[in-house]
Structure 1
């Protein structure tokens, strides 16, 4: 079976997106075969510093999103750096950034500016809030959007003492996914129409849609027929259940699974007699009763005992994994999710393959996460710059190579040796 096909091969992306949501989007495009040119300021993307790494500017958060890209340093505050960026955009299919639109207009890098050079370019702006609303100029980070979107406040509705943040960059990653599929759709539209497109992807609206998609409830009707909030998700008992020796997730969802669970523990008669929980329609009104019953029952046996019982009766269940458990998970190892790769500057590193499996396409790792400016000379030469011009850009600081930064910088924390996980 030929797996040399790449879905986005031939698509060139000029990537001026930093931090996380943009790099997530462009990693997806790169995995699909696009030539992603990551344009960085001289100090590099801030996420290069996140987490503990062997060397400065090569931290684990960057390594997790930096594959299948080429790194070019361009200081767009310098006229020659800005001109070089515009030169790259002349032949690009897609330009993506997460700089405030007003700043991009001041820099002469708006959609109108790039469209004048390249009328078919797809221009993707990642913003915190939609630019036609009153929040347009507000700064936004993951925590800010978790608060604004109602996500943090849901914890109170679900029975916790106070609002909380999901301990993951959920908003950045959700918006990155939204940006990737918007970019691919815009490229597909261009194939049909021959026209470029300006696409704005806001974090706030993306997450508001996700939260309200679950919790609009009775507010979906005009006039509303009930308050917002889906009771199953806001149930105070909907959390990992305590067992005699730990915690477990158990989710009998339909009537068959609930009946099987209560039958397996010898309480089928009590289940059938309780009109609040013995049908799906009834449970939809009384999830608190159903989950409270599960909480009481599950506390009576060990985690292993419940895993065995639920598995035997095909009731959805899973132990609560730690990060360390996830790294050693037998399923992830068996499907080749983790890959250990030798990086030219960072040594042995752990990469996660693209989650989706394709039958006849290559969505694997073609390029390892580059050092800052690793591809500056190569990309500028491809864009038509001569050696003297490139030397001038290097001399002025408008571009740079890894040698200008130093791979081994003081203050970088040493990483542990490779663990020997399978490729």
Structure 2
């Protein structure tokens, strides 16, 4: 691979891969963060104003907000003004050493700067070039801007939340950015795999709207896929208003008393009268319960009010019924399981120690890990410029020897 000689102590399945990263916010940076965790050398290229995520959440110093620090960890930072010829030349030199070029600019903007696919391929013919867009260029919305909220709205999330809660609403996480980021990651990896087998680079397009439409329609297509449709386009269990954590005597518990095995174990131990008479017949199979899931959830909700959360957890665990306590996001940092497996990785930075949520996947031979902090704006400019100059000298010396 192109970057093998330049890799500086990175380990993981992508060690030796060099990535030129012109993405911003979360969609693209989340994809390249995972590449960096897996050993790729990622060059985070920012304009003079910096990535907006530097400023939208808090951190120990200005310009190093939590979201930015998390999704840009382990990357090298370059500040380039791509309206200037000298900085464009620097980027071209960097591209010549790279395996992947990934950006999240609009198509018209990246073309205007002179770094569209054809221009980049002219520098590095076998490059994997990944476009991260809001909407596919092949459709009428191709150059339309997109953010997580607008894509959530476009793909039906507030609609199905409204079916559940009575009023449309966003989910309380930037789901569209992160789901699209995972699509950008796997698509880029597939293109690299093709290049490894054939030597052929290619252009890849990953879009938020199409990624989230696919994601939402996994279950919500339901019977609308068929001709003629057999149901509206939503999965009724997922939008049932009673599908929520069950209130207990002193709190809440999440539980799924759903399939026949779990249902039969529950009613035998807790509600044996539900197995007899008319109710027993009505609830006898998963298919029957699924058709009246709201009623089932309602009856379960009344039952869960009779015991404490801890009592329910002990009872359900003994019956091998899926259950969990409700946790805050802050509690994850103290979670016994996550800490037992070493999920969090503490990294020393110029701003003090940072406890990162670590790599969620495991490899027996090539494990990834957090390779370092996020860069300050332009932190690695001088070092990268010196490396590129050294590369140019080495290439020129090699050319002289071969004459």
Give your verdict on TM over 0.5: yes
Q: How big is the shift at 1:133?
A: 1.0
Aligned to 1:204: 209
C-alpha distance in structure 1 between counterparts of 2:118 and 2:282, whole Å: 60
Match of 1:303 among 285, 309, 312: 309
Aligned to 1:166: 171
Runs of 4+ in 1 over 6 A off after TM superposition: none
Normalising to structure 2: TM-score of the pair?
A: 0.91
Structure with higher helix content: 2
Match of 1:270 among 274, 288, 300: 274
Q: Provide, for residues 42-70 of structure 1, a one-character-per-residue CA deviation record: whole Å limited to 9, x for no partner.
A: 12111111322111111111121122211
Q: How does 1:251-330 map to 2 (within 5 A)?
A: 251-265=256-270, 267-273=271-277, 274=279, 275-330=281-336
Question: Do the aligned residues in 2 keep the contact of 1:277 with 1:289 (CA within 8 Å)?
Answer: no
Question: Do the aligned residues in 1 keep the contact of 2:45 with 2:80 (CA within 8 Å)?
Answer: yes
Matched, 1:347 2:352: yes
Q: Secondary structure at the match of 2:282?
A: coil
Q: Secondary structure at the match of 1:75?
A: coil
Query: How many residues end up aligned between the 2 structures?
Result: 382
Matched, 1:250 2:255: yes
Q: Provide, for residues 264-284 of structure 1, a one-character-per-residue CA deviation record: whole Å limited to 9, x for no partner.
A: 21x223235423322111122
Q: 1:4 to 1:120 in 2, by over 3 A?
A: closer
C-alpha distance in structure 1 between counterparts of 2:78 and 2:255, whole Å: 49
RMSD between aligned residues:
1.7
Q: Where does the alignment leave 5 or more consecutive residues of structure 1 unmatched?
A: 388-423
Matched, 1:359 2:364: yes
RCO comparison, higher one (Cα < 8 Å, 6+):
1
Question: Do the aligned residues in 2 keep the contact of 1:5 with 1:360 (CA within 8 Å)?
Answer: no
Q: How big is the shift at 1:232?
A: 1.3
Which deviates the most, 271-280 or 351-360?
A: 271-280
Normalising to structure 1: TM-score of the pair?
A: 0.87
Matched, 1:333 2:339: yes
Question: Do the aligned residues in 1 keep the contact of 2:135 with 2:144 (CA within 8 Å)?
Answer: yes
Question: Do the aligned residues in 1 keep the contact of 2:10 with 2:371 (CA within 8 Å)?
Answer: no
C-alpha distance in structure 1 between counterparts of 2:214 and 2:276, whole Å: 38
Matched, 1:145 2:151: yes
Q: Provide, for residues 246-294 of structure 1, a one-character-per-residue CA deviation record: whole Å limited to 9, x for no partner.
A: 11111022111111112221x2232354233221111221211211111
Matched, 1:383 2:388: yes
Q: How big is the shift at 1:97?
A: 0.5
Q: Secondary structure at the match of 1:260?
A: helix
C-alpha distance in structure 1 between counterparts of 2:332 and 2:129, whole Å: 37
Q: Secondary structure at the match of 1:67?
A: coil
Matched, 1:92 2:98: yes
